[in-house]
Chains A and B, each alone.
Chain A
Amino acid sequence: MVNGRDVDMRTSLCGIELDKPVMAASGTFGYGLEFAELYDINVLGTFSFKGTTPEPRFGNPTPRIADCTEGMLNSVGLQNPGVDKVLEEELPELAKVFHKPVMANVCGGSPEDYALVAEKLSQCDQIGWLEVNISCPNVRSGGMAFGTDPKAAAEVIGAVRKVTTKPVIAKLSPNVTDITEIAKACEAAGADGITAINTLLGMRIDLKSRKPVLAREMGGFSGPAVFPVALRAVYQITRAVDLPVVGCGGVRTAEDVLEMMMAGAKAVQVGSQNLVDPFACRDIIEALPAAMEKYGIKNLREDI
Chain B
Amino acid sequence: MRNSEFTIKKNQRIAAGMNEMILQVPETPEDEEMLRNIRPGQFINIRIEGLYLRRPISICDWDAGAGTITIVYKTVGRGTEAMGLMETGETLDILWPLGNGYALPQAGQEAERRTRRPLLIGGGAGVPPMVSLCRRMIEAGLQPTVILGFRSEEDAYYQDRFEAMGARTLITAEDGSIGQQGFVTDAMRTLIDSDGACAYDSVYACGPEPMLRAICETAPETIPGWFSFEERMGCGFGACMGCSCETKYGSKRICKDGPVLERSEIIW
Contact = CB atoms under 8 A, between A and B. Distances in A.
B38 to A, nearest CB: 17
A72 B242 CA distance: 11
A66 B231 CA distance: 11
B189 interface: no
A59 B241 contact: yes
B249 interface: no
Contact of B256 (A34, A76, A276): A34
Contact of A275 (B1, B51, B53, B231): B53
B218 interface: no
Contacts of B239: 28-30, 34-35, 274-275, 278
A303 interface: no
B1 A274 contact: no
A221 to B, nearest CB: 11
Contact of A276 (B54, B242, B245, B251): B54
Given A64-B242, A278-B235, 6 more contacts: A30-B239, A65-B234, A67-B53, A69-B52, A277-B3, A278-B3
B47 interface: yes
A65 B232 contact: yes
Contacts of B232: 62-66, 213
13 contacts: A30-B238, A35-B239, A58-B251, A64-B242, A65-B232, A66-B232, A67-B52, A74-B242, A274-B239, A275-B240, A276-B53, A276-B235, A279-B3
Contacts of B243: 62, 65
A174 B9 CA distance: 46
A79 interface: yes
Contacts of A223: 52
A190 B240 CA distance: 31
A276 B47 contact: yes
A95 interface: no
B4 to A, nearest CB: 12
Interface of B: 1, 3, 47, 51-54, 79, 95, 231-235, 237-246, 251, 256
A223 B235 CA distance: 13
B139 to A, nearest CB: 29
A58 B244 contact: yes
B233 A65 contact: yes
Listed from nearest, the 9 A-B pairs whose CB atoms lie closest are: A65-B242, A275-B235, A63-B232, A67-B53, A79-B241, A65-B234, A65-B232, A34-B238, A275-B234
Given A278-B3, A278-B235, A59 B244 contact: yes
Nearest to A278: B237
Q: How large is the interface on A (under 10, 10 to 19, 20 to 34, 35 or more residues)?
A: 35 or more
Nearest to B233: A65
A69 B50 CA distance: 8
Contacts of A275: 53, 234-235, 239-240
Interface string A248-279: 00000000000000000000000010111111
A272 B51 CA distance: 13
Contacts of B245: 62
B52 A71 contact: yes
B52 A70 contact: yes
Interface in A47-73: 50, 58-59, 62-72
Contact of B95 (A63, A68, A278): A278
A1 interface: no
A38 B240 CA distance: 16
A142 interface: no
A38 B3 CA distance: 10
A137 interface: no
Contacts of A276: 47, 52-54, 235
A27 interface: yes
A24 B50 CA distance: 24
Nearest to B241: A79
Given A63-B231, A71-B52, A278-B235, A76 B251 contact: no
Q: Looking at A37, A224, A275, which has the most chain B CB atoms within 10 Å of its CB?
A: A275
Contacts of B52: 67-72, 223-224, 272, 276
B47 to A, nearest CB: 7
Contacts of A64: 232, 242
A76 B47 contact: no
Q: Looking at B52, B54, B235, B244, which has the most chain A CB atoms within 10 Å of its CB?
A: B52
B93 to A, nearest CB: 9
A78 B95 CA distance: 26
A41 B47 CA distance: 23
B20 to A, nearest CB: 24
Contacts of A38: 1
A79 B251 contact: yes
Nearest to A76: B241
Given A37-B1, A62-B245, A278-B3, A72 B234 contact: yes
Nearest to B78: A67
A226 to B, nearest CB: 12
A54 to B, nearest CB: 17
Contacts of B256: 34
Nearest to A225: B52
